[in-house]
């Protein structure tokens, strides 16, 4: 059995955003227990043998107390953006595994370079993963899944050179869960590996949103080239032939609440929320 818990379902800024008065942030501020309260990305994976986390959210302190997280010493990191690994600074403040030099981070060479640059002072063991590398953690077979995410750096790269962002395929007892972090395009080989998964947890940042609403903080940008937008996300989700789709990294920019967005989705597609549990 694999147990997954989405501890952080929000995009890079989380919800509510400080000083934002959009309807989603208003709902989130009014009711701290609403599904519109979203911390930054964090996913707990658990088997009988142990547990590990995917990502190190800047909100990991909050998530650790809310979901009784400790003790965890293994972390898979998809990429080096702020919302996916800068909680390492938080963790440093109280993780006994860091203090004892036992923390293990699994990531690409590119992500390792950023970890080394920004967190040189924090003791850690880094396991460098290559494209489509297999390894095992607590009885789960894990395969790295390169994706195109950082538009300015990745767009002209051949698939075989992608190293900025890795998703992860988790397999145990004939069950298959794919985690696709942020992306703007999925390479062919990654597509072929995640087809027919039981569950795909995938980037839904701009779900049902073709263009940003006009907000001052967007500096006139109409869309974000690092991510898929609107219909293209649903087209991709439909093409995967998965039993169930779970969208993560939800932004307030859609100006739709959790319930409103969920109602617009097909039955086999669910919007994640902080605390969502999936057993398989």
Whether the Cβ atoms of residue 252 and residue 215 lie closer than 8 Å to each other? no
Q: Which stretch binds Zn ion (CB under 5 A): 25-33, 35-43, 53-61, 131-139?
A: 25-33
Q: Does 25 bind Zn ion (CB under 5 A)?
A: yes
Residues 58-97 touching Zn ion, rule: CB under 5 A, are: 81
Tokens of 31: 């009711």
Longest C-alpha distance within the chain, in Å?
49
What is the dihedral sign for C-alpha 19, 207, 54, 182?
Answer: negative
Least distance in angstroms from the C-beta of 226 to Zn ion: 6
* Residue with smaller CB distance to Zn ion, 25 or 236: 25
* Residue with smaller CB distance to Zn ion, 40 or 73: 40
Tokens of 79: 């990429």
Residues 179-238 touching Zn ion, rule: CB under 5 A, are: 182
Tokens of 117: 């640059």
Residues 230-259 touching Zn ion, rule: CB under 5 A, are: 252
Whether the Cβ atoms of residue 271 and residue 6 lie closer than 8 Å to each other? no
* Residue with smaller CB distance to Zn ion, 17 or 43: 17
Total H helices, total E strands in the chain: 10, 14
Q: Does 163 bind Zn ion (CB under 5 A)?
A: no
Q: State the Cα–Cα distance between residues 166 and 143, nearest whole angstrom.
A: 9
Q: Does 26 bind Zn ion (CB under 5 A)?
A: no
Least distance in angstroms from the C-beta of 36 to Zn ion: 9
Tokens of 107: 């990531």
Q: Does 38 bind Zn ion (CB under 5 A)?
A: no
Binding footprint of Zn ion on the chain (CB under 5 A): 17, 20, 22, 25, 81, 182, 252
């Amino acid at each position: 059995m694999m147990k997954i818990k989405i501890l952080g379902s929000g995009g890079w800024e989380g919800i509510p955003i400080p000083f934002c008065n959009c309807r989603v942030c208003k709902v989130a501020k009014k009711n701290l227990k609403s599904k519109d309260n979203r911390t930054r990305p964090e996913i707990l994976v658990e088997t009988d043998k142990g547990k590990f986390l995917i990502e190190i959210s800047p909100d990991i302190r909050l998530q650790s107390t809310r979901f009784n997280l400790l003790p965890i010493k293994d972390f898979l990191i998809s990429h080096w953006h702020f919302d996916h690994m800068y909680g390492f600074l938080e963790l440093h403040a109280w993780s006994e595994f860091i203090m004892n030099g036992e923390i293990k981070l699994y990531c690409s060479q590119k992500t390792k370079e950023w970890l080394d640059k920004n967190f040189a002072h924090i003791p850690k063991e880094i396991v460098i993963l290559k494209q489509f590398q297999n390894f095992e953690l607590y009885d789960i077979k894990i395969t790295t899944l390169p994706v195109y995410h950082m538009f300015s750096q990745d767009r002209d790269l051949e698939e075989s050179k992608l190293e900025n962002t890795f998703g992860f395929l988790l397999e145990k007892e004939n069950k298959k869960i794919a985690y696709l972090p942020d992306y703007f395009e999925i390479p062919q080989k990654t597509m072929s590996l995640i087809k027919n998964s039981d569950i795909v947890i995938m980037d839904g940042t701009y779900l049902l949103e073709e263009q940003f609403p006009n907000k001052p903080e967007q500096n006139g940008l109409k869309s974000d080239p690092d991510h898929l937008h609107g219909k293209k996300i649903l087209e991709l989700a439909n093409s995967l032939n998965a039993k169930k789709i779970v969208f993560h990294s939800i932004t307030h920019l859609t100006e739709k609440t959790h319930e409103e967005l969920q109602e617009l989705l097909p039955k086999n597609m669910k919007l994640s929320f902080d605390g969502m549990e999936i057993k398989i």
